[in-house]
């Protein structure tokens, strides 16, 4: 779809834009990509318009670009678009997760929901506009652009009443600072080897020096000659693991500070991105009950909560954990104490203590 088609559709029909695989568009023809990016950027504001010269007369002509949009991409998109969006990061399902599926035959039921939403919007348009004009008290953690993105949703939530405004704010705080991209190729190969090494390592995590030594010692692997005939460096490891939410951390161990990679974070990433994953948190497959671990959970089609770090991620999103001097750990965002010392204990790892 070209930018010309896009803004003419918006001008004529005021649709909700659903654009998938948008990262492929921005990797294509630069002129077309820039035109689409500019059109979507302008559509962030109610008065946003695209200007073009009309035919042979070259008279300037403007088109409205204002429309709600849901944009999907595997890799990173332009920062100007991300800055104007509420970003929700999707992960591959880990071993032991059973996301609900939406069958094509069930899509018809959504038409009824769409009609109800349209009727509600028509009946409450004045009230929503008034709530938007009155403004909102935003948490200090949200930046100016994030506040702009959130205000329309808060206006709708305010008119809907109940606990909807609180739920909108909680969701906005939970999805901040998402993982940048989904990695593939040699990054996944590195993650597989790092996960194997981490499983054989005891303690809180794997020190960077020992991890590098173990990687270059692997036979029939490329890490010993990865850097133009030289060994893989610490910065290269950090860069390749970053898209999985794995970053170097510091923790207190044996009366000194150690810098390396958290075993729990590595385990979670491996469960999501490495093929043929092993069960996490000591859970094993059972044909009778679906999944069985220290807390037996009959398979109901819902995602079990025993996956490493998953419960805490639902509260605070993918955040780094802080190692305290006394050997305990805290959430990097909310500073709540975390129980990370024994994977699988009580069926939950990374839960609030």
**What secondary structure, in 3-state letters, does the chain show?**
CCHHHHHHHHHHHCCCEEECCHHHHHCCCHHHHHHHHHHHHHCCCCCCEEEEEEHHHCEEEEEECCCCEEECCCCCCCHHHHHCCCCCCCCCCCCCCCCCCCCHHHCHHHHHHHHHHHHHHHHHHHHHHHHHHHCCCCCCCCCHHHHHHHHHHHHHHHHHCCCHHHHHHHHHHHCCCCCCCCCCCHHHHHHHHHHHHHHCCCCCEEEHHHHHHHHHCCCCCHHHHCECCECCCHHHHHHHHHHHCCCCEEEEECCEEEEEEEHHHHHHHHHHHCCCCCCCCCCEEECCCEEECCCCEECCCCCCCCCCCHHHHHHHCCCCEEECCCCCEEECCCCCEEECCCCCHHHCCCEEC
In DSSP terms, 275 is beta-bridged to none
Reported as a pLDDT band with limits 50, 70 and 90, residue 319 is very low
Q: Which of 327, 82, 347 is nearest to 338 (CA)?
A: 327
Reported as a pLDDT band with limits 50, 70 and 90, residue 353 is very low
- State residue 285's pLDDT score: 37
Reported as a pLDDT band with limits 50, 70 and 90, residue 297 is very low
- State residue 284's pLDDT score: 36
Beta carbons of 338 and 331 less than 8 angstroms apart: yes
Residues 205-246: pLDDT tens digits?
899 999 999 999 998 888 998 888 889 999 999 999 988 889
Q: 124 is written with which tokens?
A: 């409450």
- State residue 184's pLDDT score: 53
Q: 63 is written with which tokens?
A: 């088109």
Q: Are strands 249-253 and 284-286 parallel, antiparallel or unpaired?
A: unpaired
Phi, psi of 117 (to 5 degrees): -65, -40
Residues 244-257: pLDDT tens digits?
889 999 887 777 88
- State residue 308's pLDDT score: 40
Reported as a pLDDT band with limits 50, 70 and 90, residue 347 is very low
pLDDT at 341 over 90: no
Which region among 78-82, 181-185, 277-281 has the lowest average model confidence (pLDDT)?
277-281
- State residue 179's pLDDT score: 43
> In the chain, what are the domain boundaries?
3-83, 104-174, 180-276, 279-353
- State residue 9's pLDDT score: 92
Residues 90-146: pLDDT tens digits?
877 777 778 888 888 888 888 899 899 999 999 999 999 999 999 888 887 787 888
Reported as a pLDDT band with limits 50, 70 and 90, residue 292 is very low
- State residue 334's pLDDT score: 59
Q: Which long-range contacts link 222-229 to residues 24+ away (Cβ below 8 Å)?
A: 222/186, 223/190, 223/193
pLDDT at 305 over 50: no
- State residue 322's pLDDT score: 57
Residues 146-201: pLDDT tens digits?
888 899 999 999 999 999 999 999 888 888 754 444 445 688 889 999 999 998 88
- State residue 137's pLDDT score: 85
- What mean pLDDT comes out for the span 288-310? 34
Pick the CATH number of 180-276 from 2.40.50, 1.10.10, 1.10.287, 3.40.50: 1.10.10
């Amino acid at each position: 779809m070209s930018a010309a088609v896009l803004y003419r559709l918006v001008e004529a029909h005021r649709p909700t834009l659903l654009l998938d695989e948008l990262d492929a568009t921005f990797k294509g023809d630069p002129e077309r990509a820039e035109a689409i990016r500019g059109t979507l950027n302008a559509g962030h504001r109610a008065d946003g318009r695209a200007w073009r010269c009309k035919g042979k007369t070259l008279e300037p002509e403007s088109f409205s670009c204002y429309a709600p949009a849901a944009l999907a991409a595997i890799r990173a998109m332009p920062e100007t678009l991300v800055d104007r969006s509420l970003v929700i990061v999707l992960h591959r399902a880990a071993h032991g997760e059973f996301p609900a599926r939406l069958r094509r035959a069930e899509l018809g039921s959504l038409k009824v929901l769409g009609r109800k939403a349209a009727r509600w919007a028509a009946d409450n348009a004045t009230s929503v506009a008034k709530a938007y004009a009155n403004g909102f008290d935003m948490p200090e953690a949200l930046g100016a652009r994030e506040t702009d993105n959130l205000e329309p949703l808060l206006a709708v939530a305010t008119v809907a009443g109940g606990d909807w405004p609180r739920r909108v704010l909680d969701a906005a705080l939970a999805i901040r600072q998402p993982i940048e991209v989904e990695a593939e190729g040699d990054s996944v190969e590195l993650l597989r080897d790092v996960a194997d090494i981490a499983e054989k390592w005891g303690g809180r995590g794997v020190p960077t020096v020992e991890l590098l030594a173990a990687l270059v010692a692997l036979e029939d692997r490329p890490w010993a000659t990865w850097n133009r005939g030289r060994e893989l460096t610490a910065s290269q490891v950090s860069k390749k693991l970053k898209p999985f939410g794995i970053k170097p951390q510091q923790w207190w161990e044996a009366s000194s500070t150690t810098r390396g990679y958290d075993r729990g974070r590595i385990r979670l990433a491996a469960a999501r991105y490495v093929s043929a994953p092993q069960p996490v948190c000591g859970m094993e497959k059972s044909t009778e009950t679906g999944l069985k671990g220290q807390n037996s959970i009959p398979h109901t089609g819902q995602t079990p909560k025993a996956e490493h770090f998953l419960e805490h991620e639902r509260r605070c999103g993918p955040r780094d954990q802080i190692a305290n001097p006394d050997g305990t750990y805290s959430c990097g965002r909310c500073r709540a104490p975390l129980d990370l010392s024994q994977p699988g204990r009580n069926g939950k790892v990374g839960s609030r203590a």
